[in-house]
Amino acid sequence: MTLQPIATLTLALLALLLPWAAPTNAAAAQPAAASADATEERWYSVELSGQRAGWMRSARVEADGLITSTEEMNLTISRGSVNIKVRAVSEHVETTEHEPVSVKTVQEFGALPQEVRVRFLDDGRLAVTRSTAGLVGPEDIFDAPAEDWLTPSQVAEHLTGVIEAGGSSTRLSVFDPLMAMGPTELSYDGFERTELNLMGRRVPAYRVTSTSQALGGVSSVEFLSAAGETLKTETAIGGIELTMTTTTKELALGEIEAPELMVSTFVKPAEPIAGARTSRTATYSLSKDDGSPVVVPSVAGQTFRTDAGRSLVDVSVGGTSLATDRDLSESMSASSAINHEDAAIIALVDRARPDADAPAALRAEAIRRFVHRYVETKSLGVAFASASEVAKTREGDCTEHAVLLAALLRADGIPARVASGLVYADAFAGERDVFAYHMWTQAALPSGGGHAWTDLDATFSGSRAFDATHITIGTSNLPDDAPLEGFLEMMPLIGTLQIQVESLE
């Protein structure tokens, strides 16, 4: 069984979690019990940047004409002085003839566990239900995938066939709703015969480079057995390295070190920024450690340009950019993260806005200030809760402010989405004068007969809605069918980005 989907998914989750995640109060997750009928089970030790961070378990059970393939990963990482627990589970059920029956995914990196269940209907369509903390939402029906894809058992068989035929590369598609609500392409290149040192033994293996289209071309080095099973994976994304190595259950569940992965992502400019919170305009040059170019979007109050080979970003408080008709439609679609149709969200709108007939810009600013006050516990104890959760708990950090503001704006008829990037902090997590990863909100407000995006940061108090130390890396409507939208651009920059302040007023 290949681990590529859940391995790359976990990296994606880390990319989302590093800037703003925080630990929950839940007890440490325990591995799911293995069935006595399991025909295959493999345990892996997981390291992040050379430190033990957790474990992974892969199991395959064949019974009653069905094959159930399960992958579960549990990680603990440090965010400054606190620990964060991340858990991802993927369960695929297929017939022994490799007809898909169902897929279940579970992710625990927010305040409450989130689950997605997919049933494959006889007509090829997908029936999808989503739940949070056991509360099951309505079942949605999606069209059948437009392209063929392989079940987990077929992936292993396919790779075995390539190895036996002496092939050098192959392409295939898989289905995992944690990555996308549809097939995603994986490529395998190389298939170089080698040996691998596993627990003091030399084991024959095939070294291959695998690449995930769903994660923007992120590549891993995998070591496969002749049966197509993953023995070890090595993945570098930005400045973070993920290594998974097969081992015994006892060693996999052994003591971990909880590597620190937040402070190391901070970007420190050459000089402190005076008056950061009152800044109105700024220009920054962006680069990566290896000198490769950095490209960020021109959106809202940000303009990207190149000059003499340099990547430059101009930021202007109050600046706007045109919102297209497609933008407006997509930024009014409800999702699990931004469900503006929730009664709890709707109930807050009348409390938040001054007058339903007031201009949209005034309503948006009033709602922004309301969210800042409403999230009364500015806590790092919540990791990426949905807007509906925040409406109930009134607790969270920047992500909770961002999604609640987006939901309230949508409930008031104002298209909204979230923006992810960096913001300058005089002091944060024991460090001083750094750019840290951050999330805020963008609203599409009426402008010149159309609509224009403008930035709103609900973590700011009073009349200050934004400042010029925000640098946008990506934007997202956080849709259910593309959960990584808007974050892929940020992943390669984590731990490698350099920021030079060219000017600031």
158: helix, strand or coil: helix
Q: For residue 193, give the DSSP letter.
A: E
What CA–CA distance (Å, rounded) separates 101 from 98? 9
What CA–CA distance (Å, rounded) separates 225 from 195? 10
Nearest CA-CA partner of 504 in 320, 314, 302, 269: 314
Is the Cβ–Cβ distance between 173 and 184 less than 8 Å?
Answer: yes
Single-letter residue type at 202: R
Nearest CA-CA partner of 440 in 411, 413, 414, 467: 467
Strand partners, 378: 396
- The pLDDT profile of the chain, 505 residues, written as one tens digit per residue, is 444 444 444 545 454 444 433 223 333 344 555 444 557 899 999 998 888 999 999 999 999 999 999 999 888 887 766 677 888 888 999 999 999 999 998 877 655 677 889 999 998 899 999 887 667 778 888 888 878 899 988 988 899 999 999 999 999 998 877 667 778 888 999 999 999 999 889 999 999 998 887 776 678 899 998 888 889 999 887 677 889 999 999 999 998 888 877 777 889 998 999 988 999 999 999 998 888 889 999 999 999 999 988 999 999 999 989 999 999 999 999 888 898 998 999 999 989 888 878 999 999 999 999 999 999 877 665 557 788 888 888 887 888 899 999 999 999 999 999 999 999 988 877 789 999 888 999 999 999 889 999 999 999 988 888 999 999 999 999 887 776 666 777 777 888 889 999 999 9
392: helix, strand or coil: helix
For the whole model, what pTM was predicted?
Answer: 0.79
Is the Cβ–Cβ distance between 151 and 5 less than 8 Å?
Answer: no
- Tell me how far apart the terminal alpha carbons of the chain are, to the nearest angstrom: 56
Residues 6+ apart with CB under 8 A from 346: 340, 411
Is the Cβ–Cβ distance between 497 and 293 less than 8 Å?
Answer: no
Assigned token pair, 248: 């015994």
Burial of 44 (0-12, 13-18, 19+ CB in 10 A): buried
What CA–CA distance (Å, rounded) separates 314 from 291? 20
The C-alpha angle with vertex 275 and arms to 270 and 278, in degrees rounded to 5, equals 130
Is the Cβ–Cβ distance between 129 and 117 less than 8 Å?
Answer: yes
